[in-house]
Amino acid sequence: MSSTSSTSSTSSMSALPLTLRDSTTMLRRNLLHARRYPSLTLNILLTPIVLLLLFVYVFGGVMSAGIGGGGADRSEYIAYLVPGILLMTIGATPAGTAVSVSMDMTEGIIARFRTMAIHRGSVLIGHMVGSVLQALISVVLVGAVAVAIGFRSTDATALEWLAAFGLLALVSVAFTWIAVGMGLASPNPEAASNNALPLIILPFISSAFVPIDAMPGWFQPVAEYQPFTPAIETLRGLLLGTEIGHSGWLTVIWSVGLTALGYWWSRSLFDRDPK
Amino acid sequence: MTKTAPHPPHPHPHAITAKHLHKAYGAKTILDGIDLTVPTGTVFSLLGPNGAGKTTAVKILSTLITADAGDLHVGGHNLATDAQAVRAAIGVTGQFSAVDGLITGEENMLLMADLHHLPRSEGRRTAAELLERFDLTEAAKKPASTYSGGMRRRLDIAMTLVGSPRIIFLDEPTTGLDPRSRHTMWRIIRELVTTGVTVFLTTQYLEEADQLADRIAVLHDGRIAAEGSAEELKRLIPGGHVRLRFTDPDAYRAAASRLREAVRDDEALTLQLPSDGSQRELRAVLDLLDSAGVEADELTVHTPDLDDVFFALTADTTTGTPRRSTQPSKETVR
């Protein structure tokens, strides 16, 4: 009889603490993986830093010509570029998430998790939170590099800094859930890597590197009506004091919508019978 | 003991019941309406060749995949409506190792302890005890991906035991193991049973079912071809006999004239008598030999083993009732 006491304590727990507890356990597992096998993390971290340096020092001279009517210098381009690079960092991490989720699904232990009386979504929530933490750490590091090469916020208050960080976290959660779904929908890690490509491409076709006005007319709607552009514009507004307009609300709506969609998609994929 | 009381006592009399379990993938029927009953505290073995549907049955009963049809109960809970309660009662060690290869054996165990919501100190103690019991203490700090097949399988079972499940599914637990690891695994399974745990075991090794199982069901083409204890299954097919070998031709002829029903092999000087191998039948044979004043140089008793049963039951593609003597047992006359 004493041996059943552990299971009865499980059933007496209400749903939310169970979700929280199991997800925390799964998160610990994911962080352990990331710590033991840091190559994927490093790869994700280095890409935005390389891009930042590349755009500032190699393309910067030419690119800045498109800013502020052509008279901008390099430091102005840095100011323009950094918010985009920060969001690109947020966008690059989910691409890794898709691959690691897909890889994890091939592991036998996932079948074990499915036959245990744990919160069903906890494996996925663990992946999501682990990736978001990773993305935010990356953002801090990329931000530090940006500051080191001359990025300065013009007038951001502490509250605006906080809001900027919150915005990055919100966008990160949204794209990570989509990436978790992509990882689950992919038959293997290679396919997951391909499927996640749009997440990497999307920032390039936003206002991250050049203003939308400088793009061909037919392409402008594509760049304008995608989630990265309002997020980047909001971040610019918070850090550099430019006009935010509707971008703030648009970003929140995009993020909440993508989060809901990504979570629903991931859960329904995970709840299907495994092959 | 297996009789159902009006109010079922707390330990359900049947750990697992399945009625008309059906599962198909597209047009291919995997399980064609099988019935299973496993009394609590017993070892039940599902025996069958590769592709017979054993793993599918385990996956369904352990809540991993859903059945197309069937009235299924595990630990007294309905699989279709209360899968989470079933999960709280079971432990599963699948055919493919269900350990996290990226982390150490100890970390795998602590992961299980956390998922079973054991308090931290209890989790550590349970993990250490099980690692010790399965002879993994030395390897505890190494990544599970570096383990040998036998070690990984032991870790797998140790992880399954963390929550003290009352019903354990073992899908081909010794496939791919060397003989020593296999015997270790058998010992582990026997120890489990002494604690009152119900074990649902699949295997393609007849010896394994014979060694471990109280009841055996032979699965063939998605149907139960036969079910019973190992002894009952062996009785299903003919082939039991006593063989007498002589070196002296005179003794041989004397014995042959006495044992009329014996099949003679004049060249090898052997006689073969149908027999169930019971003491009474053996004594009758010996008495006859004594009364004739002859002595056989060698007497061997052959009872059909599960191999004979298995081949007889699964030899043909025909389903349903086992066909008799599709293959003679291996020591009959040629």
The pLDDT of residue B258 is 84
The pLDDT of residue A69 is 55
Residues 6+ apart with CB under 8 A from A144: none
- CATH architecture of residue range(s) B14-235: 3-Layer(aba) Sandwich (3.40)
Provide the residue type at B177 as one letter.
Answer: L
Closest residue, chain B, to A22 (C-alpha): B115
Domains in chain B: boundaries: 14-235, 241-302
DSSP string, B28-51: EEEEEEEEEEEETT-EEEEE--TT
Closest residue, chain B, to A28 (C-alpha): B111
User: Does ipTM exceed 0.90?
Assistant: no
Residues of chain B positioned with their CB less than 8 A from the CB of A37: 102
List the single range of A69-73, A254-258, B58-62, B106-110 with lowest mean pLDDT.
Answer: A69-73
Partner B contacted by A190 (CB < 8 A): no
Residue A29 has pLDDT above 70, yes or no: yes
**How many CB atoms sit inside 10 A of residue B191's CB?**
11
The pLDDT of residue A8 is 39
Partner B contacted by A6 (CB < 8 A): yes
Query: B5 or B250: which carries more pLDDT confidence?
Result: B250
Q: In percent, how much of chain A has pLDDT > 90?
A: 43
Q: Pick from B188, B180, B184, B186: which is nearest to B210 by CA? A: B186
Per the CB < 8 Å rule, is B64 touching A25?
no
Count the residues in chain A: 275
Partner B contacted by A3 (CB < 8 A): yes
Q: Which two tokens stand for residue B271?
A: 């006689």
Partner A contacted by B159 (CB < 8 A): yes
Distance from CA of A32 to the nearest CA of B (A): 7
List, for residues B265-288, the tens digit of each pLDDT value: 888 899 888 777 778 888 888 888
Q: Which two tokens stand for residue B66?
A: 């859903």
pLDDT tier for residue B114 given thresholds of 50, 70 and 90? very high
Per the CB < 8 Å rule, is A25 touching B159?
no
Q: From the DSSP assignment, how many helices (H) and strands (E) are in chain A? A: 13, 0
Q: Which among B62, B92, B117 has CB closest to A9? A: B117
Judge whether A159 lies within some domain.
yes
Per the CB < 8 Å rule, is B102 touching A117?
no
Closest residue, chain A, to B161 (C-alpha): A3
CA–CA gap between residue B90 and residue B165 (Å, rounded): 5
List, for residues A241-268, the tens digit of each pLDDT value: 888 888 899 999 999 999 999 999 999 9
Distance from CA of B91 to the nearest CA of A (A): 8
Q: Which residues pair with A236 in a beta bridge?
A: none
Per the CB < 8 Å rule, is A115 touching B102?
no
pLDDT tier for residue A91 given thresholds of 50, 70 and 90? confident
Residue A90: give the domain boundaries: 13-271
Interface of A with B in 9-28 (CB under 8 A): 9-11, 13, 21-22, 25, 28
Residues of chain B positioned with their CB less than 8 A from the CB of A6: 116-118, 163-164
Q: Measured between alpha carbons, how far apart are the two ends of chain B, in Å? A: 47
Distance from CA of B211 to the nearest CA of A (A): 27
CA–CA gap between residue A18 and residue B287 (Å, rounded): 73
The pLDDT of residue B236 is 73
CA–CA gap between residue B190 and residue A271 (Å, rounded): 35
Partner B contacted by A108 (CB < 8 A): yes
The pLDDT of residue A219 is 84
Closest residue, chain B, to A37 (C-alpha): B102
Judge whether A242 lies within some domain.
yes
Instruction: Write the DSSP symbol of residue B78.
Output: E
Measure the CA dihedral B302/B303/B308/B310, to 10°. -160
List the single range of A73-87, A88-102, B63-77, B123-137 with lowest mean pLDDT.
Answer: A73-87
Q: What is the pTM of this model?
A: 0.80
List, for residues A228-244, the tens digit of each pLDDT value: 899 999 999 998 888 88
Judge whether A53 lies within some domain.
yes
CA–CA gap between residue A197 and residue A192 (Å, rounded): 9
Average pLDDT, chain A: 85
Judge whether A2 lies within some domain.
no
Per the CB < 8 Å rule, is A33 touching B84?
no
CA–CA gap between residue B13 and residue B38 (Å, rounded): 9
The pLDDT of residue A65 is 65
Partner A contacted by B96 (CB < 8 A): yes
The pLDDT of residue B328 is 37
Q: Which among B111, B114, B164 has CB closest to A6? A: B164
SS3 B20: strand
**Considering its fold, how many domains does chain A have in total?**
1
Q: Tokens 């700090």: give the residue.
A: B141
Interface of A with B in 36-55 (CB under 8 A): 36-37
Distance from CA of B90 to the nearest CA of A (A): 8
Q: Measured between alpha carbons, how far apart are the two ends of chain A, in Å? A: 36
Q: Which among A6, A108, A114 has CB closest to B163? A: A6
The pLDDT of residue B332 is 34
Residues 6+ apart with CB under 8 A from A214: A66
Mean pLDDT of A73-99: 85
Sheet holding B77-78: strands in order across?
A: B28-39, B14-25, B69-74, B77-78
Instruction: Write the DSSP symbol of residue B63.
Output: T
Judge whether A254 lies within some domain.
yes
Q: Which residues pair with B202 in a beta bridge?
A: B46, B171
Q: Which among A9, A109, A118 has CB closest to B98? A: A109
List the single range of A8-22, A150-164, B32-46 with lowest mean pLDDT.
Answer: A8-22
Distance from CA of A12 to the nearest CA of B (A): 12
CA–CA gap between residue A174 and residue A192 (Å, rounded): 18
Residue from A29, A112, A120, A272 to probe the interface with B (highest B Cβ count within 10 Å): A112
Mean pLDDT of B319-325: 39
Residue A11 has pLDDT above 80, yes or no: no
CATH number among 3.30.1490, 3.40.1350, 2.60.40, 3.30.70, domain B241-302:
3.30.70
Interface of B with A in 198-257 (CB under 8 A): none
Partner A contacted by B329 (CB < 8 A): no
Distance from CA of B314 to the nearest CA of A (A): 27
Relative to beta strand B69-74, strand B14-25 is antiparallel
